[in-house]
Amino acid sequence: MNLPLYLARTVARGGSESISRTIIGIAVAAVAISMATMVLASALIGGFKSEISDKIFGFWGHIHITADAASYGIFDSYNYPISIKQDFYPHLDTTGRVTLEAFGSSLGLETAEEEVSKEGVKHIQQFIVLPGVVSVYPEGERLPTQEALVLKGIAEDYDWDNFNRYIEEGEILKVTPDSTSRGIVISSITARRLELKLGDRMDFAFIDGRGQERARAFQVTGIYKTGLEEFDRQFALVDIKQPRQLLNWDDDKVGGFEVILDNIDDLEIFANYIHYQVLPQELYGDSIRQKIGELFDWLDIQDYNWAIILALMIVVAIINMMTALLILILERTNMIGTLKALGQSNWSIRQIFLYYAGFIIIGGLLLGNGLGLLLCWIQKTFGVVHLDEESYYLSVAPIKVDWGLLLALNVGTFLITLAFLIVPSYLVTRIDPVKAIRFK
C-alpha cells in the first residue's frame, strides 16, 4: 500500500471548512488560467504561422528552379530562359522520401548528420515572371491610369488546389496547350486602384532589351485576394504563352519551375537535395524562404513571443502552487508531528503534500485545457477576434491546435511545476514533532 498517496487522498477529501480551501481554489484557478493562456497562445501563433506560410507557398511554391545566373531573384529570371526539356520534369513529382547525406561524408568527414525527409514532392510546375506597365482608360477620360504590374505566366500544369481558395470573383484561368488565353486574374488591390471589374480590358506593355515596346491586351476574368499585400499589389496571373510571346521565346522556354512539397518541414532538405543531386550544373534551386527571408524571419519572431508567454504562465502557476503548498503544510502541522512521532520519515511526509499538489495541478490543467480549447473553438467557428489585414496579412485571428504540442505542454507544465514544489516541501523537515503535536 502506498501510504503517502492514501494520506494525500484523505487530505484532499478533507473538510470543506478548512481555511486552505480558498488558497487551493486560487491555486487551481491560477494553473487553469495559465494553461488556458498557453493553449490559446500556441493555437493562435501556430495558426498564424500556418496561414501565412500557406499563402506564401500557395502563391510561389516551396522551391524555385531557375538558371544559375538568375539565382539572386525571380524578378530577373525573364532574362535567363531555360528549357522545359529537363530530366527532372515532369517526373520530379514522383520523388518520395529522400536521404540527404552528411556534408563531407564523401571525403571521409562528418561535418553534419544525415537527414531524411518526412515525405516527398507533391507537384512541379512551370512559370515565367515578366514585369511591365498596365494601362487602363477610365470612362470619360482621355489619359490612361498606369501602374507597374508583374505578370506571372502559368501553364496547364498549374496547381490550382493551393490558389483557388483566394479567388474572390470570377473564375480560375483556363490554360490549355492548344490555345492562348487572353484572360488575366488580378488582385483585389489592383482592381480597386484601377477601378476594374470582371470583363474589363487592361493593356500591358513591356520594354524589351532593344528598347522596343511590346504590348498585349487582356480581359479580367478573375479577382483574387491572398491578404499578402506585397504579392497582391504586384502580381497578376496570365497564360504562360503570353509572356513567352512578349519575350519572343521558343515554345519550350520558361523562366523556371516551382516545386511543391508534401510536407513543409522538408523544405531545407529538398532545397539542398534538388540543388545538389537533381539539377544540372547550369540550373539553380533554392527555397522561397531564401528569396523572401525577411517575412519568414518575422514569422520566426512569433516563436520568441510564444516562449515568453509560456515562461510567464509557468512562473505564475509555480508561484501560486508554492504558496498553496506552504499554507497546506502549515495548516497540517499537527498531522505532520503525529506522523513523525509514529515513525514516518521526512521524505514520506513530503510525498503526501507533493501528491496533494499533484492533484491540484491536474485539476487546474483539466480546467485550463477545457477553457482554452473552448476559446479556440469559439474563435475558429465564429471569428470573434479580427485583425488589421494590412499589418497582419489576415482579417481574422487563425486557430490551429497542435495536439502533440498540447500534450507536451500539459506534461511539461505538470513536471516543471511539481519539480519546483520539492523545495518548499522541505519545510516539513523543520517541524519538531513534540511542538507540532501541541500546535493549535
The answer to whether residue 174 is domain-embedded is yes
Taking CA atoms, 375 is separated from 199, 302, 388, 411, 428, in Å, by: 43, 20, 21, 21, 40
* Structure confidence at residue 104 as a pLDDT band (50, 70, 90): low
Could you tell me if residue 262 is inside a domain?
A: no
pTM of the model: 0.79
Residue 187 phi, psi (nearest 5): -85, 165
- Is 221 found in the same domain as 302? no
pLDDT at 334: 81
Tell whether 153 is covered by a domain.
yes
Do 428 and 377 share a domain, yes or no?
yes
In a domain, residue 341? The reply is: yes
What pLDDT, in 10s, does the model give residues 362-389?
999 999 999 999 999 999 999 899 888 7
Q: How confident is the model at residue 109 (pLDDT cuts 50, 70, 90)?
A: very low
In this structure, is residue 168 part of a structural domain? yes
When mean pLDDT is compared across 35-44, 180-189, 315-324, the lowest value belongs to 315-324
Domain count across the chain:
2
**Of 294, 266, 300, nearest in space to 62 by CA:** 266
In a shared domain, residues 309 and 421: yes
Q: Is position 114 within any domain?
A: no
Question: β-strand 145-154 against 121-136: which pairing, if any?
Answer: antiparallel
* Cell output for 433: 514533532
| Same-domain pairing of 304 and 252 | no
**Any idea which residue has 537535395 for its cell?**
273
Task: Give residue 133's domain range.
Answer: 128-256
pLDDT (average), residues 393-414: 92
